Amino acid sequence: MEKIQITLDINNKPYDVRVYPNDTLLEVLRDELDLTGSKESCGEGVCGSCTVHMDGKPVRSCLTLALEAVGSKIKTVEGLASGEDLSDLQQSFIDHGAVQCGFCTPGMLMSADALLNVNPRPDEKTIRKALAGNICRCTGYAKIVEAVAHAGNPQDHCPDCKTGSKTVSKTKE
């Protein structure tokens, strides 16, 4: 089994890398390209901590071969911020205390970012459904849902972070 030369388009930058057929995208990101934001936890698609975007859609990088990612536009958690400036979503996570140990956060951010890209004003039910594939063992999810809701509506008043509303719009059944 020989290494294969491929080019991956990650966060709008081309990366030339030599990979084995059995290398997952996550292993290449972390071990070859030093993009260690995406985390490996369960390694079998259950926890969601390795979530990255492929062509704008959230996927499990632990269950995606690096070879399968060739030709797709990949976005990792490192691609959310512009330099030192955090994205609204990242800032909202900090402001609302949605990060405790932080291990699930890169996956949560990527799943939430994919949701907000297609639905900028999601209600609570929509947010919980979009994040259902991501496990967090610290926060109890409430803070994360609030952070995502506020990131989608940053203009609203919020007593928590002084710039927006803490209230999550309830789903109309």
Partner 1 sequence: MRLPRFDYLEPANLEETLDLLSTHRDDVKILAGGTDLLVRMKKGLLKPKKLISLKALDELSYIKEENGVIKIGSRTSLSDIIHSNLIQKKAEALFQACEKIGAVTIQHCRGTIGGNILQDNRCHHYNQSEFHRSGRQACHKDGGKICYARDEADRCNSTCQSDGATALMAIGANLTLAQKGGERTVDLDNFYTTDGIMPFAMESHELLKEIAIPIQGAKSAYKRLAYRSAIDYPIVCAGVLLKPSDTDKNKIADARIVVGAMGRAPLFLAKASSSLKGKNLTDKDAFKNAADISMNSAAPFAVHNVGATLEYRCDMVFEMVFQALEQAAIAVKK
31 sits near partner 1 (criterion: CB under 8 A): no
Q: Which of 29, 54, 136, 145 binds partner 1 (CB under 8 A)?
A: 54
- Output 103 or 167, the one with its CB closest to partner 1: 103
Q: What would the x/- binding string for partner 1 be over residues 95 to 114, using CB under 8 A?
A: ----------------x--x
Q: In angstroms, give the least distance from the CB of 162 to partner 1.
A: 32
Q: 161 with 95: CB under 8 angstroms?
A: yes
Q: How near is the Cβ of 128 to partner 1 at its closest, in Å? A: 9
Q: In whole angstroms, what is the distance from residue 74 CA to residue 56 CA?
A: 8
Q: Does 68 bind partner 1 (CB under 8 A)?
A: yes
Give the residue among 66, 54, 74 at the shortest CA–CA distance from 20. Answer: 66
DSSP per-residue letters across 121-139: S--HHHHHHHTTT---SSS
Residue type, 143: K
146 token code pair? 């609030």
Binding residues among 1-30 for partner 1 as defined by CB under 8 A: 1, 4, 20-24, 27
Least distance (Å) between residue 164 CB and partner 1: 25
CA distance 29 to 33: 5
- Binding to partner 1 by CB under 8 A, coded x per residue (else -) over 152-171, reads --------------------
Number of residues that bind partner 1 (CB under 8 A): 32
Residue among 33 and 65 whose Cβ is closer to partner 1: 65
d(CA 38, CA 83): 18
Indicate whether 92 belongs to the interface with partner 1 (CB under 8 A): no
- Shortest CB 60 distance to partner 1, Å: 6
Q: How far is the CB of 48 from partner 1 (least distance, A)?
A: 6
DSSP string, 46-63: SS-TTEEEETTEEEEGGG
Measured CA to CA, the distance from residue 161 to residue 91 in angstroms comes to 10
